[in-house]
A and B are shown apart, each in its own frame.
Chain A
Amino acid sequence: MPAHKQLNLTLRVWRQPDAGSRGEFRDYKLYSVSPEMSFLEMLDVLNEQLLEEGEEPVAFDHDCREGICGTCGVVINGQPHGPMQGTTTCQLHMRNFEDGDLIVIEPWRASAFPVVRDLVVNRSAFDRIIQAGGYVSVRTGQAPDGNAILVPSPDQAGAMDAAACIGCGACVAACKNASAMLFTAAKVSHLAQLPQGEPERKQRALQMIATHDEEGFGACTNTYECEAACPAEISVSHIARLNREYSKAMLTARQ
């Protein structure tokens, strides 16, 4: 690996003790950051420094640190998960920043995602959208043989493209309406492309959208910011499919 120059940075970080308090930005200087570090490792270093100085560390969510669990996620200089296409915060490396940079770090901002502390938000609303119908109603032990129903490989691939959503919430953070339509669409589209999802197809679309709205997420106005921010590169074409599913379901529901 080529030896890069170390970075000296100013971090402007959102600090908020809990949901009920008002938050504010605070500036921190960080010196000699290795460009090989991940963004979260850089925050680890900041936290070690804060502990030494007697200030409470910055709270941020993370777990797998390899881009799959969807736990991490902060807005970096206005962009959810930062500047790299198709990359979660934990997979973003400091080689994408310049010496002397000011980096502004904020939590996801959406009324449906209340702040828990600092950069941590509560995304339970996503679980409730799934509870509304993001499943196939099959009990353990009821399944036929795995090969009993053939699934054409393109359908499987299409379903997999949608199912790759990591549920991080970046789509909501990126959207000016704080809409969770990309998240909702990914689940509906995943199951709509598989024969297993067929029986509950209509009510799934209707109920999931209803819950999406009840949770306080905004409407989709097709700005595609969600797709641009999505670390799993979920395409907005799934929203188009969701819209079709929804209209079909509405039509037949009226009959």
Chain B
Amino acid sequence: MSTAVETRLNSRVPTGPLPDQWTKCKNELKLVAPNNKRKFHVIVVGSGLAGASAAASLGELGYNVTCVTIHDSPRRAHSIAAQGGINAAKNYQNDGDSTWRLFVDTIKGGDYRSRESNVYRLAEVSGNIIDQCVAQGVPFAREYGGTLANRTFGGALVSRTFYCRGQTGQQLLLGAYSALMRQVSAGKVKVLPRREMLDLVVVDGCARGVVCRNLVNGQMETYAGHAVLLCTGGYGNVFYLSTNAKGCNVTAAWRAHRRGAYFANPCYTQIHPTCIPVHGDYQSKLTLMSESLRNDGRVWVPKEKGDQRKPTDIPEEDRDYYLERRYPTYGNMVPRDVASRAAKERCDAGYGVGSTKMAVYLDFSRAIEEQGEDAIRRKYGNLFDMYEKITDDNGYKTPMMIYPAVHYTMGGLWVDYHLQSTIPGLFVLGEANFSDHGANRLGASALMQGLADGYFIIPYTVGHHLASQSLKPVTEAHPKFKETMIDARSRIESILAVSGTRTVTDLHRELGKIMWNRCGMSRNAEGLEAALTEIKELREEFWRTINVLGSGEAFNQNLEYAGRLADFLEFAELMARDALERKESAGGHFREEYQTEEGEAKRDDENFCHVAAWEYQGDDSPHTLHKEHLDFQNVELTTRSYK
């Protein structure tokens, strides 16, 4: 169905030894003269960690920035929900951490499917992020002596995670948001809330603007600039149920993809092991319980199938602490993909607990015994409260019940070392790009990446783009803007014109089921083939039966959701196709045909040590697959082992 070409995607990775590459790159980048910066206009789409940090930093440098977001305030971006923490190689604990170790852990955690140079740079700037956030007033946890505190996260043997109780994402986002608000009051950044980017405007091959729908009055608006930054987050909601905020979507990325930006590794999705299990068909989202809980919580199921006793009545000898049993070195702290599959394995084998039997226990009794309930409350109080609000159960008294859920998407728009997509002038930051996490992301690394991209990378690389291209002046009056706007408007009109009988939620749930069953925690060729047909049928069903009431020229949430679902229905097919083409298991992508005897993921480095970057060829032609070969010169490709 697709044609594969071995292209040399130019990733613009600098030559020379890894530790010197970023410095070398920065030294060679062209600069924009201070008083010329104000002649450039940059459009930032999204105000999460990536977008807010980029917009604020560019404003500080003197560029004019317009930042659009679907939210009513930049502070509400999905980044706000991150709980556990942010990694940085500070080695404040004197436990042997270093840039090198964070780099190696991230490469290994990603199952050797990420670009060495990008990951090294991420580790290199990680310390600056903490410094920056502290200076902004982010209230990171402190030791009694006043120094910064750390906790341990999965996939690491050092303690390098910085945190603000269970609200790290909130505090980091509020830090970036405050920097952004400072630039708004300085007049350098204009924030336009409740605007949804519906298309990208490409002029002479360069990204020069966006088409947005004003969500309050439904009017189409266009914004022209010299560069566009997409910071629009991940596409986990293609599964309908996920831990993502309801507004997370693929629309901006997908629309840019259709205009020429390659989509890389769409099949790489992360299933988080510690979420509150599904309990009813009215359910609208899943709730994550931070991975940090695995520091003190022990995961188990009864040794006996269908054991009916209350968990507290099941004695030690009748419990199977299966992570500790299978992975003695990392135990409960194995990476997420490993922990998730192990839970699924136990439940599929009939050992699951709870009313649906699709859950395992996360037990704090030993930690409470050793450290006292107060200590546990201090560390995770808000998580226990949240658990109780949702389930009506007290996690201090009885083990929590958890099950894996869709959480993060490693795939995203392909970017080079400058974070530029295959469309010149279109840069992609944060979860929306594919860059640093390979086939699996380690905990506490998304916040790090979003802020690295926005604070410390993009201010340099965008400047280079602006200084090295001779960009013609382009305004909203350029015919391309009108043309693109008409495209976007006609899509909206065609959704409204259907006036069928099925609701967005109904169809989205159905898509979610297909994706979860066939393209979720484990995948096989037969299921993926079936998914391709089912997705296509469902897409046709959507365009025949969708029922959206009201007008396009008003505040109309149902219309917004329908537009996003329409894009998910196109994107889902590419995701399944990518999963089908990747005939190996790697990180979060587990193909049942490719596993070791012990049921661990089995990579095929000979044939699949590459990034799969897909090029859109029109609605009626298959995508073209481009492969960026991944060169490992500094770490050895080995089989991941957490035993």
Query: Closest CB of chain A to B481's CB: distance in Å?
Result: 26
**Contact flags B101-140 to A (C-beta < 8 A → 1, else 0):** 0000000000000000000000000011011111111011
B: residues with CB less than 8 A from A are 53, 56-57, 60, 71-76, 78, 80-81, 90, 92, 127-128, 130-137, 139-148, 164-165, 167, 169-171, 174, 177-179, 181-182, 184-185, 191, 193, 216, 245-247, 279-280, 282-285, 287-288, 355, 385-386, 389-393, 455-456, 459, 503, 505-506, 547, 549-550, 554-555, 557-558
| Known contacts A146-B134, A163-B139, A57 near B182 by CB under 8 Å | no
Determine whether the beta carbon of A139 is less than 8 Å from that of B76: no
Determine whether the beta carbon of A136 is less than 8 Å from that of B137: yes
Task: Known pairs A63-B78, A136-B135; list 15 more (Cβ under 8 Å).
Answer: A41-B284, A57-B557, A59-B557, A63-B71, A63-B246, A65-B287, A68-B167, A68-B170, A69-B76, A84-B389, A146-B90, A146-B131, A146-B140, A156-B141, A167-B73
Nearest 5 Cβ contacts at the A-B interface: A150-B146, A135-B178, A143-B135, A143-B131, A131-B185
**Contact flags A103-131 to B (C-beta < 8 A → 1, else 0):** 00000000000001100101110110011
Contacts of A124 in B (CB 8 A): 72-73, 193
The residue of chain A having its C-beta at the shortest distance from the C-beta of B549 within the complex is: A56
Q: Which of A34, A68, A163 has the most CB of B within 10 A?
A: A68
The residue of chain B having its C-beta at the shortest distance from the C-beta of A196 within the complex is: B137
Determine whether the beta carbon of B73 is less than 8 Å from that of A63: no
Contacts of A116 in B (CB 8 A): 216, 555
The residue of chain B having its C-beta at the shortest distance from the C-beta of A193 within the complex is: B139
Contacts of A146 in B (CB 8 A): 90, 127, 130-131, 133-134, 140, 148
Determine whether the beta carbon of A44 is less than 8 Å from that of B60: no
Contacts of A130 in B (CB 8 A): 177-178, 181
Query: Closest CB of chain A to B526's CB: distance in Å?
Result: 33
The residue of chain A having its C-beta at the shortest distance from the C-beta of B138 within the complex is: A163
The residue of chain A having its C-beta at the shortest distance from the C-beta of B550 within the complex is: A56
Say if the beta carbon of A17 comes within 8 Å of chain B. yes
| Known contacts A48-B506, A51-B549, A140-B179, A151 near B280 by CB under 8 Å | no
B74, B179, B390, B456: the one contacting A93 at CB < 8 Å is B390
Determine whether the beta carbon of A61 is less than 8 Å from that of B72: yes
The residue of chain B having its C-beta at the shortest distance from the C-beta of A147 within the complex is: B147
Contacts of B182 in A (CB 8 A): 131, 135, 137
Query: Closest CB of chain A to B448's CB: distance in Å?
Result: 14
Contacts of A255 in B (CB 8 A): none
Q: Which of A142-180 contact B (CB under 8 A)?
A: 142-147, 149-153, 156, 159-160, 163-164, 166-167
Determine whether the beta carbon of A57 is less than 8 Å from that of B549: yes
The residue of chain B having its C-beta at the shortest distance from the C-beta of A139 within the complex is: B60
B80, B137, B144: the one contacting A159 at CB < 8 Å is B137
Contacts of B216 in A (CB 8 A): 116
Query: Closest CB of chain A to B626's CB: distance in Å?
Result: 34
Say if the beta carbon of A184 comes within 8 Å of chain B. no
Say if the beta carbon of A37 comes within 8 Å of chain B. yes
Contacts of A40 in B (CB 8 A): 284
